Structure 1
Amino acid sequence: MYKRILIATDGSELSDKAVQSGLSLAALSGASVVALKVVPRYPRSYFEGGMPVEASDIQRIEKQWDEAAQALVDGVKTAGDAQGVSVKAVVAKSDLVAEAVIAAAKKHKCDLIVMASHGRKGIKRLLLGSETQHVLTHSHIPVLVLR
């Protein structure tokens, strides 16, 4: 059925449910898993309306984000190990989350992407966007969306 499944996570409760479903599917189909967390780059421009931040503070913040992301995908790896599923933990740095998900799926030769959708509608979807929708409309790899 599936050989390699990419599971994208953001650490939310809904995303955790998608991780568990993706791991279960991998266990049933004998697939390996690529667990992915996309970390944004810290904004370095002064035009975003924020206060200028020292370079050392930016490095500290980015390091914290990287460590938190690594801990998250390592947790997926641990959960996969408990189910007998081989999991590769991957952290990607990008401000374009959907593109990073699609690129990682291609790079790791995945044949399915599993991710959650928060189901935002109306103005919230317009303002917050939908990374899942973007992946659905731009990926040539099948996408399983869980809510």
Structure 2
Amino acid sequence: MYQRILVPTDGSALSKKAVNSAIALAKLCNAELVALKVVPRYPQSYFEGGIALAPAEVKQVEKTWGDAGQAVVDAVKKTAAAKGIEAKAVVVRSDVVSDAILAAAKKHQCDLVVMASHGRKGIKRLLLGSETQHVLTHAQIPVLILK
């Protein structure tokens, strides 16, 4: 049914639920898994960041974020491998998570995205936005949402 499943994760308890479901589905379909962590870029402008850091410090912050992101997807890859699932661990840098998820799905030729959603409604959704909603409405492939 599915050949390659993308599972974006941030390492939270909610995203771990999506990871576990994606691994189970990949096992059922004999599909490959692509674990994705989107890491933000360090804010560079005066208005985005409150404190201006030296370029070397910015690189160190971004490296720390990247290393932490790599640890998250490596853990997914290890869990998948323990269950006999081939998996890739991918970290990308982007300030727009949903766009990065959609681009990764296309780049890695995934035919399903499995992701979690907080299920926010009303003013919370309006104020906080929804990366999941953006992926759901703009994806060219099926998206499985878990709450």
User: Into which bin does the TM-score normalised by the smaller protein fall?
Assistant: over 0.9
Aligned to 1:115: 115
1:75 equivalent in structure 2: 75
Query: Unmatched 5+ residue regions in structure 1?
Result: none
How big is each residue's C-alpha offset from its partner over 1:13-72, in whole Å with a ceiling of 9 and x where there is no partner?
000010000000000110001100001100000022612122222111101100000000
- Does the CA contact (< 8 Å) of 2:43 and 2:49 recur in 1? no
Secondary structure of the residue aligned to 1:81 is helix
SS of corresponding position for 1:33: strand
Q: TM-score, normalised by structure 1?
A: 0.97
Query: Aligned equivalents of 1:122 and 1:58: distance in 2?
Result: 36
Aligned residue type for 2:91: V
| Residue type of the alignment partner of 1:88 | K
TM-score normalised by length of structure 2:
0.97
Name the residue aligned to 2:20.
Answer: 20
For residue 92 of structure 1, give the secondary structure of its aligned residue in structure 2: strand
- Consecutive unaligned residues of structure 2, counting only runs of 5 or more, are none
Equivalent in the alignment of 2:99: 99
Provide the C-alpha distance between the structure 1 equivalents of 2:93 and 2:48, rounded to a whole number of angstroms.
20
Shift of 1:123: 2.2
Tell me which amino acid in the other structure corresponds to 2:114. V
Query: Is 2:50 the partner of 1:50?
Result: yes
Please report how far the alpha carbon of residue 122 of structure 1 lies from its aligned counterpart in structure 2 after TM superposition: 2.1
How far residue 136 of structure 1 moved from its aligned partner, in angstroms, is: 0.3
1:38 aligns with 2:31: no
Give the letter for the 1:65 counterpart: W
The whole-number CA distance in structure 2 between the counterparts of 1:127 and 1:65 is: 25
Could you say which residue in structure 2 is the equivalent of 1:60? Answer: 60
Amino acid at match of 1:108: H
Query: What is the DSSP-based 3-state SS (H/G/I as helix, E as strand, rest coil) of the residue aligned with 1:70?
Result: helix
Query: What are the Cα deviations for residues 74-98 of structure 1, in whole angstroms up to 9, with x where unaligned?
Result: 0000000011000010001111111
CA distance in 2, matches of 1:43, 1:81: 36
Q: 1:129 to 1:46 in 2, by over 3 A?
A: same
